[in-house]
Amino acid sequence: MSPTMDKGGVVKWAVKEGDSFNSGDALLEVETDKAQIDVDAQDDGIMVKILAQNGTQDIPVGKPIAIIAEPGDDIASLELPKIEEAPEAKTAAPAPAPAPAAAAAPSAPSGKSSESAPESKQASTSTTTSSSFSKADSTQRFFPSVELLLELNSISRDDALQKIPASGPKGRITKGDVLAYLGKISQDDVNSITSYIDKKSKIDLSNVELRKPGQGKEQELQGKAEAGAGAEAELGDKQQGALKKSKPEPVKISKTFILSKPVSFDHLNSIVSRATKLSEQYSYAAPLYPKSDLIDPLFEDIIAPSSNLERFKINVKINEPVIVSKGSGASLIFDELTSIGATATGTGSASADGKTTALPSIDIDLIVSDKVVDAKQRAELFIEKFGELLTVPQELEKSQDFII
């Protein structure tokens, strides 16, 4: 709100009495001297009572407009603070009917009585004020809101410490104290709120009794036993839940390759070893993006996961020769080395004379890592490259450290 504002109005409440609200929720819309703004809740709470209804105008700054409680409080049993309305908000009382002339004969005593009424009211106010207010602490540092009000009203620090009663803790002057001193709000309002806060800040221990030595020991042991049983039951539930939420099976990519002609075991072992190494190098280095003028390879390499991260584990197994026959359906490797295109079913293969032939096979199992986003793609590249190298063994012969 504006720092120069001394009055405002309630346009509309967003919550009703008894409603709960959370921090950040809009509580009401107020009208200032410049605009209409929403007032948000600073903490969670419950709206206990609305003191200023919708459409109320000319409410002095600092005057309470509602009473709220903490979340979970039983508002039905709460003792609400007594808040008196400011003098300017009070409705003028109707003038009393004139007394009969005979009854008003002793005019002098009547005059004294009328003069003593304000004095009595002033004495009552002074007594109430002195009970909640104290002398200001001269060493205190003013709140920014207090300093601003003092500056706007040309009140020096010394005058404030000497003339303004303090309602804050340990003699602290609050914004409400300054507004009451300036006559913009009632001192009774400040006093009632201060009394309510003081009352609620103290813990009533009058109904608390100390336990006698040895009293309740059996109940304490029983409580511990029940707590232990509950903890064991809770632990059993957690263990069962952990079993249900066991780690999912890792992704596994498998492929079986069957050679198109017999090969000695040592020869095949060298081929598989070299093909595995080259396929792994290729799968880790090959780009996963298509060639395009719109793609920057350097940028793609920067955002891609590091090539040092393990994408998959390789398990290679060379099986005993399998009996295959012509026209069976499975792809054979080294086809271009033979003059006969052969396929396998696992039961027979092709030869020049149509007889079955025992051919070796290779099983590849890749256990894909779930920690690298491109692990599955690169595992598929490995399988693809491995098959190419076995199908075209000339690629293996290009390496200087490999001898067929």
Model confidence pLDDT, tens digit, residues 194-222: 888 877 777 767 777 776 666 566 667 77
User: What is the reported pLDDT for 107?
Assistant: 42
Separation between Cα atoms, residue 9 and residue 402, nearest integer Å: 91
Confidence of residue 95 (pLDDT cuts 50, 70, 90): very low
Q: Which fold has domain 1-80?
A: OB fold (Dihydrolipoamide Acetyltransferase, E2P) (2.40.50)
Q: Look at residues 263, 238, 290, 280 and name the one whose alpha carbon lies nearest to residue 384.
A: 280
Residue 123: is its pLDDT beyond 80? Answer: no
pLDDT-wise least confident of 92-96, 183-187, 241-245: 92-96
Task: Give the tens place of pLDDT for each residue, 308-332.
Answer: 889 999 999 988 776 655 554 444 5
Separation between Cα atoms, residue 333 and residue 318, nearest integer Å: 14
Residue 236: is its pLDDT beyond 90? Answer: no
Average pLDDT value for residue range 290-307: 81
User: What is the reported pLDDT for 258?
Assistant: 84
Average pLDDT value for residue range 31-44: 84
Residue 91: is its pLDDT beyond 80? Answer: no
Query: Is the CB of residue 348 less than 8 Å from the CB of residue 325?
Result: yes
Distances (CA, A) of 69 to 18, 19, 79, 81, 205: 10, 11, 11, 12, 22
β-pair type (252-259, 59-60):
unpaired
Distances (CA, A) of 229 to 43, 217, 240: 38, 19, 17
**DSSP for 115-168, written as a single string:** HHHHHHHHHHHHHHHHHH-BPPPTT----HHHHHHHHHTT--HHHHHHHS-B-S
pLDDT-wise least confident of 39-48, 188-197, 233-242: 233-242
User: What is the reported pLDDT for 294?
Assistant: 81
User: What is the reported pLDDT for 155?
Assistant: 92
Task: Give the tens place of pLDDT for each residue, 246-259.
Answer: 667 888 999 988 87
Residue 348: is its pLDDT beyond 50? Answer: no
How many CB atoms are closer than 10 A to CB 257? Answer: 21
Phi-psi category of residue 216: left, alpha or beta, with phi > 0 → left and psi -120 to 50 → alpha: left
How many CB atoms are closer than 10 A to CB 314? Answer: 15
- What angle, rounded to 10 degrees, do the helices at 107-132 and 187-200 form? 40
Structure tokens at 90: 């009070």
Query: Is the CB of residue 271 less than 8 Å from the CB of residue 397?
Result: no
Confidence of residue 263 (pLDDT cuts 50, 70, 90): confident
Query: Is the CB of residue 282 less than 8 Å from the CB of residue 399?
Result: no
Average pLDDT value for residue range 394-398: 56
Residue 116: is its pLDDT beyond 80? Answer: no
Order across the sheet with 7-13: list the strands. Answer: 36-40, 26-31, 7-13, 59-60
Instruction: Provide the 8-state DSSP code for 373.
Output: T
User: What is the reported pLDDT for 380?
Assistant: 93
Q: Give 371 or 111, the one with higher predicted confidence.
A: 371
User: What is the reported pLDDT for 400?
Assistant: 41
User: What is the reported pLDDT for 134?
Assistant: 76
Q: pLDDT exceeding 70 applies to what percent of the chain? A: 67
Average pLDDT value for residue range 153-159: 91
Residue 185: is its pLDDT beyond 70? Answer: yes
Q: Residue 36: which residues within 8 A CB-CB, separation 6 or more? A: 11, 29, 30
Domain limits, the chain: 1-80, 127-200, 252-397
CA 65 to chain CA mean position, Å? 32
